[in-house]
Structure 1
């Protein structure tokens, strides 16, 4: 017996940060929306789980600095609408010769973002828990995003505005129907939609072959590179640094990004992920490449762990160089460290890639709204065409 298809004007595949943001903005506009999530919102099998992501303004590219400024307005709106604090102030430090603090400072200066450029000695006087090997950029507007709470807030607001959410609903194909598209699940359930927004994160490579996209668009899509990253939590030496941030307060440690000749890392207070006991540190883009999120196994790389522990011993005297917790997470990369936000006929690919999407979440929902409702094109740099990894 054939199952009757549910229907909505817009079907969104995935309930991570980007899918939840799209659902919130579309439902907020009065559109009929259904969200199809293979697991649960902010699933541990995706890229939006846990309680700690970096919100920062420091980019070498003014385009992205302005993008953060726009996104912050959305975060302020989301916090006001949900009644929750979703970004905890921390401030952020950038150092290391490859990170180029002076170049970052010039961009922040042009864009009017509060910042301070410090010598190694001056920075060491303020942050004795860290060792510095270059001048240091400080910008106080940075913070720590709680992605899981943010997803839950946006999904709740979307549902309040009328959106439907289906959990445990794994989309495997999107095919043209007599009008619109038919989305089919792994169990044979179907949803009919006029338009489909694919926000599948690291699961996108698995789903791509099931999307009925125009051949030219498919040929223009970049290779999506999924990495299983390694992340570690190191305890603070000072007991006063431990404990949940009081309401209205800032974290005891800043976030920081280090890029040197031999290693590139990022770090932030771990929040609930670390029982508020320590700092999360990972080597940037150093995990093994896997075909898609379906192929993650959660196994840590011992060589990667050694490199990160060595970094902690050299640069973070305020931490005990023995991780008390460790985990894996997903990075989905595209060339130029950009994102893919592009539409082909009635299918939109929303892939905020390259380990940077969390900070833009509310803005991504606005861009999808503009793209699918008002047919406004996003920036050329987010288009599928022209983004390819260099041939080896």
Structure 2
């Protein structure tokens, strides 16, 4: 039986954007971290991969609007610190159902975030690649995160401190509960005992830590793990013609943004089939692929709807689409990012570092007792 390794201060499980941001935040505070990731560095098996993600402040919920403002300040600080461009300010446009768009406008007004309301005709003149309907709202503080680069920045910052030990292609095979400490066993035979484990495991959280949390008197919400299938479509227009966009449509909501060099990514929000994250084939559902192409042909005239390149990614969605960020004893958990978590990455890293060091959780994201 392999001997226990010297106890690390923190074990971060998961090397996606949340785990990477947490490792960066902890090492920046002088804390030692072992990061364990079952796949390779920058892998495409979870929710974080790909070159772009949307940054937008367009929520109708005041708490989330406030969180976007805090996250934006941290993205700006990260760019200043590293000298790297991570957020392209393309602006973002919301259109569709008036009750939704108007609620977003009210929340942005209350938060003092500049925005403008347009008619569909005005919006179409400004952004001819999109066919607008209903009410239209634009805000300039939004844009496109260089997501793959962002993950690498977080990892590199942690590495640069010499306080981080990265173990990629290493699976957690068990977590033993000793009260104030946990022992994490991994596929390479290591057994690490520690007072702080941060499970930033997204879609894998229910199976990895669900039972442990229940034994500690808390439970995860019903996290629904789905395989989503957005696609890139070749653009007829220059890159500068594309804002990030959300269509609050009758039926399923749709998001889109340009990925430079790949096309315009368009996808339905959270409509994919339920899957086991360890056993999925990443094959598009034909009927859904056809439905997406039909949508794009109607509402995104600036691309070639007949030439999609499909993408496969995971959503870990809670019933109310709120995040789960909380701690029980030596275990901190992060899951349920519901397809809208990436924009908050540097803030999530700070929040998880705070929790791991004894801070209080955000009440909205606390576990159910």
Q: TM-score band, normalised by the shorter chain? A: over 0.9
Return the offset for 1:208: 2.7
SS where residue 316 of structure 2 aligns? strand
Cα separation, 1, equivalents of 2:175 and 2:52: 33
Contact 2:223 2:336 in 1 (8 A): no
Question: Is the 2:216–2:328 Cα contact (8 Å) retained in structure 1?
Answer: no
Helix, strand or coil at the partner of 2:102: helix
- Select the residue among 254, 265, 277 that pairs with 1:280: 265
The 1:352/1:222 distance shift into structure 2, 3 A limit, reads closer
Q: Which runs of 5+ in 1 are unaligned?
A: 243-250, 387-392
User: Residue 355 of structure 1: CA displacement?
Assistant: 0.6
List per-residue Cα deviations over 1:252-309 (Å, max 9, x = no partner).
30110012113321001023xxxx2520001111110113x11221010111111111
Counterpart residue number, 2:330: 346
Deviation sequence 1:89-123 (CA, Å, 0-9, x none): 11111011167222211110110111101112211
1:112 and 1:215 map into 2 onto residues whose CA distance is: 44
In structure 2, the partner of 1:144 is 144
2:174 corresponds in structure 1 to 173
Q: Deviations over 1:15-73 (max 9, x none)?
A: 11111111111111011111111112332111111111100000010100000000111
1:311 to 295, 304, 307: 295
In structure 2, how many angstroms separate the alpha carbons of the residues matched to 1:127 and 1:214?
50
CA contact (8 A) 2:234 2:303 kept: yes
State whether structure 2 residue 13 is matched by structure 1 residue 13.
Answer: yes
Shift of 1:177: 4.2
SS of 2:320's equivalent?
helix
Is residue 2:367 matched to residue 1:384?
A: yes
Residue number in structure 1 paired with 2:232: 233
Contact 2:38 2:170 in 1 (8 A): yes
2:223: which partner in 1? 224
Count of aligned pairs = 368
Instruction: Indicate the residue corresponding to 2:123 in structure 1.
Output: 123
Distance 1:98 1:347, change over 3 A: farther
Choose 196-205 or 54-63, whichever is displaced more.
196-205
Distance of 2:341 and 2:179 partners within structure 1: 35
**Distance in 1 between the 2:187 and 2:213 partners?**
20
For the residue of structure 2 that corresponds to 1:261, the secondary structure is coil
Contact 2:228 2:271 in 1 (8 A): yes
Partner Cα distance (1:53, 1:178) in 2: 39
Q: Distance in 2 between matches of 1:169 and 1:99?
A: 47
The two structures have a TM-score, normalised by structure 1, of 0.89
CA distance in 1, matches of 2:231, 2:181: 45
- In the alignment, the residues of structure 2 paired with residue 59 and residue 278 of structure 1 have an alpha-carbon distance, to the nearest angstrom, of 26
Aligned to 1:253: 242
Distance 1:51 1:310 in 2: 25
Could you tell me whether the CA contact under 8 Å between 1:99 and 1:260 is conserved in 2? no
RMSD: 1.8
1:355–1:68 distance in 2 versus 1, CA, 3 Å: same
Residue aligning to 1:23: 23
CA contact (8 A) 2:86 2:150 kept: yes
1:153 and 1:164 map into 2 onto residues whose CA distance is: 16
Instruction: Identify the residue that residue 164 of structure 2 maps to in structure 1.
Output: 163
What pairs with 1:325-340 in structure 2 (closer than 5 Å)?
Answer: 325-340=309-324
Superposition TM-score, scaled by structure 2 size: 0.95
Q: Does the CA contact (< 8 Å) of 1:102 and 1:117 recur in 2?
A: no
Q: Distance in 1 between matches of 2:262 and 2:49?
A: 19
Task: Give 5+ residue unaligned stretches, structure 2.
Answer: none
1:17 and 1:151 in contact (8 A); partners too: yes
Aligned partners of 2:2 and 2:190 also within 8 Å = no
Aligned counterpart in structure 2 of residue 302 of structure 1, from 276, 286, 292: 286
- Counting only pairs closer than 5 Å after superposition, residues 89-108 of structure 1 correspond to structure 2 as 89-97=89-97, 100-108=100-108
Q: How much does 1:179 deviate? A: 5.8
Task: State the 1:231 CA deviation.
Answer: 1.1
How far apart, CA to CA, are the structure 2 residues paired with 1:316 and 1:336? 29
Deviation at 1:214, TM superposition (A): 5.2
